[in-house]
Structure formats: structure tokens, C-alpha cells
Structure 1
């Protein structure tokens, strides 16, 4: 194998994390998969904490926000959130990775965060409000991308059982749960789920800005 890069290590770590969970991501496992000694990995990541930070940075590197331009802030904020959701959804382990890192140590995430803050300021929000908006926006993107939209193989019976449970509720007491039992627990169109979620968050921000 040629010279091992930090990016190659982070990419393989994400692949393992996506397939098997973060507990399976270890220096020894990575070294075996990459055909090197553990010491070769320590040149780039001295411990699991640094490795997780590298994974987070590499993950967000797939979405680098464009510099702010002259378009309305609403369009740019939408591009930022949609791009982030799509990037995060591509990695099932993304939410767990970001739960275990300090985002201040993740350069690519800082770029996204800084742009969100700037766009909030352009929308007319003050400093404290802009901080809150950026946090809600970024946390919402992570939550939207992490939501399961597919039934995993072998779990179809669980879905059917949940649907049956909801449909068996007293109609007079829970009319809407009974009516919507199917779509509540069934598979969802990822594009619809993500788009509606982004619309919901951004509509709230735009409504607040309009009252300024």
C-alpha cells in the first residue's frame, strides 16, 4: 500500500461505522482492513477521540458550503441545510459521530456553522437570536438526516404489528391515530421526508424574520 493518508483512514472508519456501528471502529480493526500496522495509524490519529474528529471532518468535507453571494438569504440558508442533510443522510453513523465530538474541533463543520450565523445576521436577527437559529438549524439537519425512512430487512413484522396496534385503538378516542396508522409507521419517501422537514424549519425562521 502507498502512503496512508488521514482521509483514507477516516473514509474507511466511516464505512465501518455505517455498516457495523461506531463500537466496531478501532485502531486495530482499521489497521487490519488497511493492511498496515496500528503504529501507521497513530501518525495521523493518536486516539479514538482524534479519529472521531477526523471522521466528522471528512464527512462534512463532502459538503462544503459555497461562499456567501448576493442571492436572498432564504435561498442560501436552504442550500446550506439541504446540502447538510443530504451529506449526513449518506452516513448512518453521522449522528453518533457528532454526538461524540466537540464540533469546535471540526474545521469543515465550523465553516457550515459560520455561514449559518452570517445568514441569520443578514436576515435581521440579533447576535443571540442568530446563535439560537444556527443551533436549531444544524441540530435539525442532523435529526432529519438520522430519521429512519426505510424498513430494515427482517423488520417488516414489527411494522405490521405497530400498524395493527394503532388500528386497534378506540376510534372515538384516537380517531387520527387510527386513520393514519399506515403512514405513521410505514416506509417513507426520503426526499419527501427531508424536503418537508427543511421546509418546516426554514418557514419558521422566515416567519420570524418577516416580523422584524
Structure 2
């Protein structure tokens, strides 16, 4: 292989995380896969915590928000939301990585967070509200990107269909007098949802709430 770099290390770490889960990402496993000694990896990352931060930073590196312009904040915030969902979805392990790091230690995440904060302030929210909006928004983005309807795994499409079928039958077998709505909606609850609808409805739900609250603030003069 070529020269060992921090980039090549985190890229391989993400490949392992995507296929085998984040717990499979270890210095020893990486060293073996990359054909180097563990000490060679420690030159770039002193421990797994630092490696995870590097992985998190690389996850978001491909997300490049448009420069500030004159478009309404609603358009720019929606663009941020949709773009970041698409970027994170490229890696099934993204949610696990981001949940295990101090996100304030991830430069690329900080850039996105700062942009979300700025757009919330532009919308008319105060400092505390902007902090909350940015946190709820980014948490929602990570959750939507990790949607079961999109997940990639070692299962074949036929195996996934069987898992959905078994879950659906389990919900449908519940006592209808006790759980009428779970029984009624067993099919979508089991995961048989249109992926496009899952994304578009999720983004609309989050954005509609923020936009409605901003309009309320504007009307009240807060």
C-alpha cells in the first residue's frame, strides 16, 4: 500500500464500521487490514477516541453548504438539512460514530452547527432558542439519515423482506382491543415504508415546526 495517512486510516475504519459495526473498529484490526504495526497508527491517532473523532470529521467532510447568500433562511436551512442527511447516509455507521464522540471536538461538525445556529438567529430566535433548534435539528438529521428503510446490511433483500414480514405479523397478532392502532398500522410500523416519503416527511415535519415557531415569534414581536 502507499504512504499511511490519517485519511487512509479513517477511510478504512469507516469501511469496517459500515460492514461490521463500530465495535469492530479497533487499532489492532486496522493495523492488520492496512498491513502496518499498531504503533504506526498511534502516530496519527493516540487512541480510539481520537480515531472516532477523525472518523466523524471525515463523515461530514463531503458536505459543503452553499456560501451565505440572499436566499431566505428557510431555503438555506432546508438545504442544510437535506444535504447533511444525504452525506451521512453514505455510511451506515454514521449515527454510531457521532453518538460516541464529543461533537464539539469535530471541526466539520462545528462548521455545520455554526451555520445552523446562524440561520436560527436570522430567523429571529434568541440565543437559547437557537441553541435548542440547532440541537433538535441536527439530532433529527442524524436519526433520519439512519432510517431503517434505508439501512444497508449483510442481509439480502429477501432476508430483509422476511424480517419485515415477521415483524408485521407480530404486530398484527397483538390484541386489537388493546392496541388498535398498532394492529391497524402494522405494515408501515414494521418498516414497509416508502424511503422517499420517510425522508421528505421527516424533513417537512422538522422544518414546518421551526418555520411555524419563527412566524409566531414574528407576529408577537418577540
Query: Same fold per TM (> 0.5)?
Result: yes
CA contact (8 A) 1:120 1:130 kept: yes
Q: Bigger CA drift: 154-163 or 133-142?
A: 154-163
Contact kept in structure 2, 1:59 and 1:87, CA below 8 Å: yes
1:149 is paired with a residue whose SS is: helix
Q: 1:37 to 1:174 in 2, by over 3 A?
A: closer
2:148–2:191 contact (8 Å) kept in structure 1: no
Q: Residues 42-88 of structure 1: CA distance to partner in whole angstroms, max 9, x if unpaired?
A: 11111100000000000010212222211100010011111111111
TM-score (norm 1): 0.92
Q: How does 1:58-207 map to 2 (within 5 A)?
A: 58-149=58-149, 152-153=155-156, 154-171=159-176, 174-207=179-212
The alignment covers a number of residue pairs equal to: 212
Asked if structure 2 preserves the Cα contact closer than 8 Å seen for 1:68 and 1:115, the reply is: no
Instruction: Give me the whole-angstrom Cα distance separating, in 1, the residues matched to 2:58 and 2:150.
Output: 25
Moved more, 106-115 or 65-74: 65-74
> 2 CA distance for matches of 1:94 and 1:117?
22
Instruction: Please report how far the alpha carbon of residue 161 of structure 1 lies from its aligned counterpart in structure 2 after TM superposition.
Output: 2.7
Aligned equivalents of 1:166, 1:187: Cα separation in 2: 13
Counterpart contact for 2:17–2:24, Cα < 8 Å: yes
Structure 2 distance, partners of 1:65, 1:150, is 23
Matched residues in 2 for 1:150 and 1:126: separation? 36
State how far apart, in whole Å, the 1-side matches of 2:19 and 2:166 are.
26
Encode CA deviations 1:165-208: one digit per residue, 9 max, x unaligned. Answer: 33334555544433322222133332221121011000000000
Contact 2:52 2:100 in 1 (8 A): yes
What SS does the corresponding residue of 2:15 show, helix, strand or coil?
helix
Alignment deviations for residues 109-155 of structure 1 (CA, whole Å, 9 cap, x no partner): 00000000000000000000000000000001111111211584335
Deviates more, 1:53-62 or 1:144-153: 144-153
Length-normalised TM-score, structure 2? 0.88
Partners of 1:4 and 1:61 lie apart in 2 by 19
